[in-house]
């Protein structure tokens, strides 16, 4: 895997396909390489962005996309409260007991 900063956007080609328009954007990188990546938005890159990519063939490059390491901002307490609400709504737990337990836990 390589990583470099975009120095310039040198060319953009568009191609219409069955899933919509794909923009092939050629980037000049700080490490001296020129790479072309396909995106669904014409303004997907801007000068100064950091790009992670890997070589997948003689002349092909593939952008490395970040893994989803965050749960969208939901905390463990929120997950526990949601889980308790689902159990209570399904009749598998007593509402009063669940509410008291969650409240004391949230206040701690």
Q: In 56-67, which positions are buried (b, 16+ CB within 10 angstroms) versus exposed (e)?
A: eeeeebeeeeee
Reported as a single tens digit per residue, the pLDDT across 23-57 is 999 999 999 999 999 999 999 999 999 999 888 87
Mean predicted confidence (pLDDT) in 82-98: 69
Measured distance CA(44)–CA(65) in Å, rounded: 13
- Measured CA angle at 18 (ends 14, 65), to 5 deg: 65
The pTM assigned to this predicted structure is 0.56
Q: Sketch the domain layout of the chain as residue ranges.
A: 2-63, 76-107
């Amino acid at each position: 895997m390589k990583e470099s900063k975009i120095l310039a956007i040198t060319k953009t080609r568009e191609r219409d396909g069955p899933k919509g328009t794909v923009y092939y954007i050629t980037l000049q990188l700080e490490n001296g390489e020129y790479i072309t990546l396909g995106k669904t938005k014409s303004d997907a890159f801007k000068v100064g962005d950091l790009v992670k990519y890997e070589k997948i063939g003689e002349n092909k490059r593939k952008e490395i996309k970040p893994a989803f390491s965050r749960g969208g901002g939901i905390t463990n307490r929120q997950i526990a409260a949601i889980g308790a609400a689902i159990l209570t709504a399904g009749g598998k737990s007593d509402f009063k007991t669940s509410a008291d337990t969650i409240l004391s836990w949230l206040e701690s």
